[in-house]
Amino acid sequence: MSKYQRYQDYVIRDGRLIGEFEQMYRDFADPWHESTSEEYASDKAAGLNLLARLKARHGIKRVVEVGCGFGHYSTRIGALGLETVGLDIADTAIERARRLHPSVEFHVGKFDDYYRLKQLRPDVLVLAEVTWYVLDHLRTFLEFARSELHNTYILHLLCVYPPGVQEYGVEFFTDLASIKKYFGMEYLESGEVKTEDGGARTWFLGTWNHAAHVAWNAPVLR
């Protein structure tokens, strides 16, 4: 029997971060709806398109998804022909990801495991729907990434919610504009899809490397 009826209660409840990810992955076969509705999410599709462009025109080869869960999105990234590594804090999630998706490399790892991230040397870091759960480490993470992974792109996907619906994290950001301001990067592309409840699915592809920003916007000669 599950500890809670809703998987969301394992992570954020009553405006507080709970963070019982290991127990959540043990109790629920498909939290986050990774293998159902999320397969068709507009922001996920946009992210894959941006990665395909980076591979075709800018030579990226290696992608690391932080907070990969059961590895469904990591596997879709790998299907683009990119060397893909998925990291997640929960042992249960990684064990299942390895069983479900043997073509992708998965490891147990935390968001602030900076040594591991440096060793992996990613061309792109993917943060797909994880940022609300790592806010306590986000400022330090961005300082590390700006300094140590200066040439690494960040693909960021995050749902935001209508005013008054969300209590946790609103002092950090509440919409795409404030997310971009907080991260403080140069943005190659960004966008959002409004949802019927007044929220939105947001995404951006960012860099701290100005030359990469220039290259992205350069005309393609045929």
CA distances from 191 to 52, 194, 217 (A): 17, 10, 16
Confidence of residue 221 (pLDDT cuts 50, 70, 90): low
Contact assessment for residue 95 and residue 115, using Cβ atoms and an 8 Å cutoff: no
Q: Which residue has the higher pLDDT, 17 or 192?
A: 192
Instruction: Output the CATH code of domain 39-216.
Output: 3.40.50.150
Residue-wise pLDDT tens digits, 118-137: 999 999 999 999 999 999 99
Residue-wise pLDDT tens digits, 44-79: 999 999 999 999 999 999 999 999 999 999 999 999
